[in-house]
Amino acid sequence: MANSFSRFSTAVAEYSGKPVTFVIAVATIALWAIAGPFFGFSETWQLIINTGTTIVTFLMVFVLQNSQNRDGTALQAKLDELILTSGAENRFIGIEKLDDGELKRLSEILKEHAANEDDKALHRKITEAAGRQTKRAGAR
């Protein structure tokens, strides 16, 4: 079931981002607007578009969130692989689990040192900073 929903949400997310889908949505709204005078701009006429757009929006939230979660997880796995196979600091794996303040501080440390240090000193300081951040996160 989960695998079929993932395939479905990926296909819907891909299709919903295409220009033809936007054109279909605009055409639907145009047809609805043109039909207004024939229905006397009644409450039923208004209810049709309100109900339709609400249902589509509600369902798309879940479909697109599933697709975004999968993309984020895949991207994180790729980044972890790059860190593991390069000279980058392995302690950076998992830093996405740090809180916002810790991530901001780590980013500030990296920016400060990148502007002022040579590669070896920067690598040493990154190692130290990442070690401190991951120890704090693990202590929680």
Q: Per-residue pLDDT tens, the chain, 140 aa: give them.
A: 778 988 899 899 999 999 999 999 999 999 999 999 999 999 999 999 999 999 999 999 999 999 998 888 888 888 888 877 777 777 878 887 888 888 888 888 877 776 765 666 666 766 777 676 556 656 65
| pLDDT (0 to 100) of residue 75 | 87
Give the list of residues 6+ apart from residue 12 with CB closer than 8 angstroms, or none. Answer: 60, 63, 67
| pLDDT (0 to 100) of residue 136 | 62
Indicate the burial class of 37 (C-beta count within 10 angstroms; 0-12, 13-18, 19 or more): exposed
d(CA 48, CA 32): 9
**DSSP classification of residue 36:** T
Boundaries of every domain in the chain? 1-86, 88-140
| pLDDT (0 to 100) of residue 40 | 95
d(CA 17, CA 55): 18
| Residue 112 and residue 78 in contact, taking contact as beta carbons nearer than 8 Å | no
| Residue 122 and residue 114 in contact, taking contact as beta carbons nearer than 8 Å | yes
Residue with tokens 């972890």: 80
| pLDDT (0 to 100) of residue 135 | 65
Cα-Cα-Cα-Cα dihedral sign, residues 35, 36, 37, 42: positive
